[in-house]
Structure 1
Amino acid sequence: MGYRVALPLRDARRLAEIVATFTRFGGGWLLERAGLGAGLSNSGGDLTPVKLREALEALGPVFVKLGQILSTRRDLIDDLWADALSQLRAQVTALPWSEMEARAEAALGRPWREVFSEILPEPIGSASIGQVYAAKLIDGTDVVIKITRPDQEERIQADLRLLEYAAARAAALSPGVARYQPAAMVRELARAIRAEFDLTEEAENTEEMAANFAGFPKVRVPKVWSDYSSRDLMVQERIFGTPPSDTAALAAAGLDGPALAAVGAEAFMHSLLVERVFHADPHPGNLFALPDNHMAFIDFGMVGRLTSARQRELMSFLKAIVTADPRAFAKLLLRWSGAENTLAPPASLEAAAGRFIARHSRKGLDLSRAITDIMEMVREEDLALPPDLVLLFKAMATADGTMKLLDPQFDSISAAKPFVARDLLALPKPEELAARLSDFAGAATAFGEEAPELLRAGLTRLSEGKLRAEVSLASGGDIARALEQAARRIAGGLVLAALLLTMGPVLAMAGPQVAGLPLGSWVGIFGLIGGVWHISRRWKL
């Protein structure tokens, strides 16, 4: 067939199926770009957006999910292709209960009738990874059972191995492809899919989210029966509610759409901006409206997690929109793209950021449109976003769309403003402050160690005529020593300042109370007075 790759023999048959499918739909050249084939580009006619969607659907769940991710990457592909890929749907036929029953009992380690009084044989949900059944426990409690399918895992694992190989090959063959981090993108896909295969992880996610929402009395997360749950089976409470998309049922139940949207948005923003663990797929099927305008979140098979650094960047993103600061927004895009210089954005990028802020800082933000505009701006400015932002942006846009079903006037920026205001007024937590200042102290120390050498190198180049400067030097050696001493003092001062900022809040509250203040605070006050007096004498102020 014209291809040869160094892959395990077990994947060769699956690779042949992938090659045959892509060439049949006119996508052989894609495999050539990935180093998986040769002489395939003219097979099957021209590849069109619709043909690509059909090819991915024919190849199964991994390629469907890959296409769905690509549909959100408008920084990589234009709208025509993205719109076609956004219509991808997995084509999976539900397995009969006779096959799933055996898998359920193997996971339970006992006949299912010892745990459940009833399991309805027709699934209420079916996907490529598993099927969901309505059931009742022996005590009559309504539950749902999720069971992984036995017929998909081997092929899915082979597909992930092949995609990981293709991503690495494509990056090695093309620097232009490498800058978009295809290997990282596939790792994100693999992590998400492999997590869905392990229902223990979903059970743990559900319990974690329930704990994070403990302070939200109007938010409900289903209870999980951990004793009955395992890698291949999970039992959780069945919650009966109204989907946000059923406006007629919401009205008949007397529910208030805007109030529901406010509850759901506050919970989502809290999980995103405070807990740093969020529902990665908050579509209308994963939320229910409950009586008294309460909201339920279900299905935590895929959650996103933010690092503290990414959380701060997300807050900066929202602040830039709330405060209408295009320069800050342009700097953030450069930082996300891994640019070396983020202090001075190019004029074209800053102008594009200005247009973006003008369009989206108004009330009534359409977050889906805003994220699409960001992707287009990134593509036009030849930047690249890190792959983990794709999951974040997709979740934010999905949540925004779901809330707009409940309240057409819903505005994500208005929902985010209280969190932004709180962040602007809040002092950093001691552990966060210590981490940031530790990094700063390390950088300052490194600067102190390197500055004398850099100064010597600069003076050497100056004396050799390799630097042009209109300066008269009476004694290069004396100046070098003076500059070296100054550099060391500056670096030492920076390190000392970092340590004082780190320990200051702790020391200021230490010791017994003296005249209404802790002893540590009095020490700090007299130390400040002494420092000012010393500097004034030293510099003859």
Structure 2
Amino acid sequence: MSRPVTGRRRRGFKILSLFFELVSGFFVRWLGARLVGRSYDFFGDEEHNRRRAIKIRKAALEMGGVLVKVGQFLSTRVDLLPPEYIEELSLLQDEVPGVAFPEIKRAAEASLGQSLDAAFSDFDQLPVAAASLGQVHRARLRTGEIVAVKVQRPDIAVIVEADLAAFRYIVRWLGRFRAIRRRANLQAVLREFETTLRMELDYVREAHHAERLSVMFSNSKEIAVPRVYWSHTTTRVITLQFMTGYKITDFEALEQAQIDRAVVAQILMRAYLLQVLEDGFFHADPHPGNVLVRPGPVVVLLDFGMVGEMTPAVRDNIRRVFLGVIHRDYEDMLSALQAIGFFGPNADRRVLKRALAWCIDTFYEMSLGELRTIDPRAVLAQIQDVLYLESFQIPANFAFLGRALGTLSGLATALDPSFQFFTVAEPYARKLMGAESGWRGMVEVAVREMRTMAHTAYELPLLTREALHAVNRGEYDLRQQFEGVERAVIRLDVAMHRMLYALLVLTFVLAGVIIFPTHYSALAVLAFVVSLLFLGGVFFGGGRRRRR
């Protein structure tokens, strides 16, 4: 048991010192490479990266607080850091030291407003688990239920604010460099991180997250979520049903219990497809300490402080990307990725489509185990034009979805190296398409097409005006810009025809809905049939014009 470094100035000084030591080391190696006429390969400097990653991990364990969270967060950012950093920082999931029981006891009693002896008939002094913000103890309520009590670390809120002040300074400093701004919107990422971190400090909010996921999986026989005991829950103490099971990475125990690891991997993937594509609300921290497995198999989710929630628009665009991968619809995938924020509006769509096609054709049928053996530098060489020339970046609101999916991918690979994501994804895609083929789905398609047409009509004059201004300023080649205008004109033509079909779909669907409840007649059936014919025009009519 150890206490983290305290004191706002002292913590800020140590964090800034660590940061500038790392930056100066990087700069010296970059300058040395330039002096001998070479470019510095950050991803290829494995020995140096390993030493620096170990230094960060040790500093995080000494300091505690946000530094541990940042390390855990960065351990999932494979788009930003070399593998050596990812491997070392991932160890922070299991190495966080606990707090001495007398301190935890005082904090819990102050928050509950009563002694532990009064609140519980039994309370284990040794923690079941320790994390950066709190630790969990096994206890028994006076009514007999076995519970898990998570108590927030003393003074952690003060420590968090002190650390965030230091990180805000670091991010402002990094934001001065154009190359860094192009790779990631660090200000937005930090804001997202701060918001989520403050949410994690509110255990009442975490309890609501647990209940929301419990409702989501209430009809599932494959996923279990613990019950919340509100009588023993406050902003700094959360009491949940004590869940038993094997740690998901304890493969020996799983095999002894005759639990099929491949089935467990499939259950996990199905659970996240439901959370992300249907509800838009997901558990954002499925690391091995937060996932148990029972015979059945049943997957048990724990720790609900870090969750992600998406707007309906973002969720719909993720669906478009998902279905686009299944059907090789690169155009729709690209539009959805741009709408989400992975690429800017001026990115070269031809380059992006080629990169998407290469990625999907190369990796679609690979197992997760095979994907893990691929040299990331070889992949980077194939798509570096997209990453650098087209200003690719991970949107801030996707940082935690990326964290969840990256962690999930690692779990699934460890459980079943032969696991193929699309063996689970393709049936789910058919389910989504089936949901959209009903009359409600047709109405949504019609409305979506009209919205697309309106957006394109609005975009065309703006694009034309910007192109002419750019030519007058001598910034762009005239022919190149008018290719962009021509593409917008074609899109407008397609959208206008689709709008006509969409209006007809909407008209006949509504007619069928009005007629059907009162007179189940041939007229109602005819209205639905006609709407289906026009729906075909929505999906396929515009494509022929686009290819003319």
What do the CA deviations read for 1:472-509 (whole angstroms, capped 9, x no partner)?
A: xxxxxxxxxxxxxxxx9999988776655556533431
1:107-506 map, 5 Å: 107-171=111-175, 173-179=176-182, 180-324=184-328, 336-341=341-346, 344-346=349-351, 349-366=352-369, 369=372, 376=380, 381=386, 382=388, 383-427=392-436, 429=440, 432-433=444-445, 436-437=448-449, 439-440=451-452, 442-443=454-455, 446=458, 501=505, 504-506=508-510
Normalising to structure 2: TM-score of the pair? Answer: 0.73
Identity %: 25
Q: CA deviation at 1:204?
A: 0.7
Q: Are the counterparts in 1 of residues 120 and 141 from structure 2 also a CA contact under 8 Å?
A: yes
What do the CA deviations read for 1:327-355 (whole angstroms, capped 9, x no partner)?
A: 66666666643322467322xx5454344
Aligned to 2:51: 50
Counterpart of 1:17 in structure 2: which amino acid?
Answer: K
Counterpart of 1:51 in structure 2: which amino acid?
Answer: R
Q: CA deviation at 1:103?
A: 1.6
Counterpart of 2:308 in structure 1: which amino acid?
Answer: G
Q: Distance in 2 between the 1:285 and 1:223 partners?
A: 18
Q: Distance in 2 between the 1:344 and 1:424 partners?
A: 26
Q: CA deviation at 1:293?
A: 2.0
**One of 56, 62, 71 as aligned partner of 2:66:** 62
Q: Are the counterparts in 2 of residues 119 and 135 from structure 1 also a CA contact under 8 Å?
A: yes
Aligned to 1:15: 12
Counterpart of 2:345 in structure 1: which amino acid?
Answer: E
Q: Distance in 1 between the 2:261 and 2:14 partners?
A: 48
Q: Are the counterparts in 1 of residues 214 and 225 from structure 2 also a CA contact under 8 Å?
A: yes
What do the CA deviations read for 1:215-253 (whole angstroms, capped 9, x no partner)?
A: 212321110112221110001001111122222222322
Counterpart of 1:410 in structure 2: which amino acid?
Answer: F
Q: Distance in 1 between the 2:99 and 2:27 partners?
A: 32
Q: Are the counterparts in 1 of residues 363 and 371 from structure 2 also a CA contact under 8 Å?
A: no
Q: Distance in 2 between the 1:491 and 1:268 partners?
A: 33
Q: CA deviation at 1:385?
A: 2.3
Q: Are the counterparts in 2 of residues 331 and 343 from structure 1 also a CA contact under 8 Å?
A: no
Q: Distance in 2 between the 1:289 and 1:247 partners?
A: 11
Query: Would the alpha carbon gap of residues 85 and 118 (structure 1) be closer, same or farther in structure 2, given more than 3 Å must change?
Result: closer
Counterpart of 1:20 in structure 2: which amino acid?
Answer: S
Q: CA deviation at 1:213?
A: 0.6
Q: Distance in 2 between the 1:327 and 1:249 partners?
A: 46
Q: CA deviation at 1:148?
A: 0.3
Aligned to 2:43: none
Moved over 6 A (4+): 29-32, 488-497
Q: CA deviation at 1:210?
A: 0.6
Structure 2, unpaired ranges of 5+: 1-6, 29-46, 473-477, 480-491, 535-548
Q: Distance in 2 between the 1:120 and 1:81 partners?
A: 36
Q: Distance in 2 between the 1:363 and 1:47 partners?
A: 32
1:511-526 map, 5 Å: 511=515, 512-513=518-519, 515-518=521-524, 521=527
Counterpart of 2:433 in structure 1: which amino acid?
Answer: L
Q: Distance in 1 between the 2:225 and 2:329 partners?
A: 37
Q: Distance in 1 between the 2:90 and 2:227 partners?
A: 33
Query: Would the alpha carbon gap of residues 72 and 372 (structure 1) be closer, same or farther in structure 2, given more than 3 Å must change?
Result: farther
Query: Would the alpha carbon gap of residues 338 and 504 (structure 1) be closer, same or farther in structure 2, given more than 3 Å must change?
Result: farther
Q: CA deviation at 1:372?
A: 8.9
Q: Distance in 2 between the 1:503 and 1:75 partners?
A: 46
Q: Distance in 1 between the 2:88 and 2:204 partners?
A: 34
Q: Distance in 2 between the 1:52 and 1:249 partners?
A: 32
Q: Are the counterparts in 2 of residues 121 and 133 from structure 1 also a CA contact under 8 Å?
A: yes
Q: Distance in 2 between the 1:422 and 1:519 partners?
A: 24
Query: Would the alpha carbon gap of residues 320 and 234 (structure 1) be closer, same or farther in structure 2, given more than 3 Å must change?
Result: same
Q: CA deviation at 1:361?
A: 1.1
Query: How many pairs were matched up?
Result: 471
Q: Distance in 2 between the 1:211 and 1:246 partners?
A: 28
Query: Would the alpha carbon gap of residues 221 and 307 (structure 1) be closer, same or farther in structure 2, given more than 3 Å must change?
Result: same
Q: CA deviation at 1:117?
A: 0.8
Aligned to 1:480: none
Q: Distance in 1 between the 2:384 and 2:11 partners?
A: 33
Structure 1, unpaired ranges of 5+: 1-9, 33-45, 462-466, 469-487, 529-541
What do the CA deviations read for 1:53-110 (whole angstroms, capped 9, x no partner)?
A: 4145254332333234334334334445444444456865322222211221222222
Return 178-187 or 83-92, whichever deviates more: 83-92
Q: Distance in 1 between the 2:188 and 2:498 partners?
A: 36
Counterpart of 1:337 in structure 2: which amino acid?
Answer: F
Task: Indicate the SS of the match to 1:230.
Answer: coil
Q: CA deviation at 1:366?
A: 4.4
Q: Distance in 2 between the 1:329 and 1:119 partners?
A: 53
Q: Are the counterparts in 2 of residues 320 and 329 from structure 1 also a CA contact under 8 Å?
A: yes
Task: Work out which of the two has the higher radius of gyration on C-alpha atoms and give 1 or 2.
Answer: 1
